[in-house]
Chain A
Amino acid sequence: MSIFSFFSRTRNTAPVARERLQLLLAHERAFSGKSDLAAILQEEILAVIAKHIAIDREKVKVKLDRDGTISTLEIDIEMPEVVPLKN
């Protein structure tokens, strides 16, 4: 037991719970009924890219993340060789 644990005992956990819930629920309400949003975005974005560039579907990473009030969609596509299909 350090002296810090004595002080940390006085820290309230309920406000943390409240804040976490508010953030989470704001996000869940916004995305309710769109639980497969990441999958849909992946399909549609890849379809657009595939029209112009040959891509290996195994080398695609899609990540939907949120931090505070910002949600980010990260799409990581590895292009071995940029070969335009049509020119």
Chain B
Amino acid sequence: MSKVLVVTSGKGGVGKTTSSAALGAALAQAGKNVVVVDFDVGLRNLDLIMGAERRVVFDLVNVVQGDAKLAQALIRDKRVETLSLLPASQTRDKDALTPEGVERVIGELREKFDWIVCDSPAGIERGATLAMRHADMAVVVTNPEVSSVRDSDRIIGLLDSKTARAEAGETMEKHLLLTRYDAARAARGEMLKVEDVLEILAIPLLGIIPDSEDVLKASNVGCPVTLHNPGSGPARAYAEAARRLLGETVAVTMPTEKKGFMSRLFGRTVA
């Protein structure tokens, strides 16, 4: 049975696209048929993060409006065979997406793929609400920072009220992905701790992605961080998160403070 997963946050720049690419690639490496769909019409970037920017011919808007067939718009990843990308349009705006068109495309994608990862645009307008509309579950990407946490809270409210599942009276499974986490700064009391964010947002933790230069390095070369440097902190954290999405029980690895003796001493895991 296929799963539609929306990666959302409300706030921009917290790591939705990075996380969509990394989780999509990790799910595909686990043998699942995965498509990552860019809903950020007008400001597409998933193609760039996945290194497929020169291969875009048709896009989501073309398919929604019936100008191109789904198969024509899908871009197969060159590194992982089971990973595909459905890019957003760069020249149109978000109003080019219609609720009926998106519903039809999601339905078609459900027939072809095990996982449909919807990369939501920032904000709470049409693009974001359409990205979450048909989701079965949601990953809420949050930075340990006040404005990001507030926006995530708002998005959680929308997931529980404006989605097809919510309107049908079903529950929407929501997971928190805490990104750009700096364990050393949190330990010094300069940054919200994992427990703080979890207590405030009150949704289960999917993973903690350490703040790391590896993320920028991977985006520079257009490769999901899970494929670019699988041994890096963020890649391991994303791979773990993907296993949790697949239903495995994996203890969350707490990012440690840059491999010092003290951090090893106090490095710990939470259930």
Contact = CB atoms under 8 A, between A and B. Distances in A.
Contact of A18 (B153, B161, B196): B196
B150 A24 contact: yes
A42 to B, nearest CB: 25
Interface residues of A, number: 15
Given A18-B200, A21-B149, 16 more contacts: A14-B186, A14-B189, A14-B191, A14-B193, A14-B196, A15-B189, A17-B146, A17-B192, A17-B196, A18-B192, A18-B196, A20-B146, A21-B146, A21-B192, A25-B153, A33-B161
B247 interface: no
Contacts of B193: 14
B172 to A, nearest CB: 16
Contact of A21 (B186, B190, B191, B200): B200
B188 interface: yes
A27 B25 CA distance: 39
Interface in B73-97: none
Nearest to B146: A17
Nearest to A15: B189
A12 B189 contact: yes
Contacts of B196: 14, 17-18
Nearest to B191: A14
A20 B154 CA distance: 16
A32 B186 contact: no
Contacts of A33: 161
Nearest to A24: B150
Interface of B: 145-146, 149-150, 153-154, 157, 161, 186, 188-193, 196, 200
A13 B196 CA distance: 13
A21 B150 contact: yes
Contact of A13 (B149, B161, B190, B200): B190
Contacts of A15: 189
Contacts of B200: 18, 21-22, 25
A74 interface: no
A28 interface: yes
Contacts of B161: 33
A32 B153 CA distance: 11
Contact of B189 (A13, A22, A25, A29): A13
Nearest to B161: A33
Interface string A3-37: 00000000011110110111011001100110000
A15 B191 CA distance: 9
B146 A28 contact: no
B153 A29 contact: yes
A32 B157 contact: yes
A41 B154 CA distance: 24
Contacts of B149: 21, 25
A20 B145 CA distance: 11
Contacts of B192: 14, 17-18, 21
A43 B190 CA distance: 45
Interface in A29-85: 29, 32-33
A12 B190 contact: yes
Contacts of B146: 17, 20-21
A17 B144 CA distance: 10
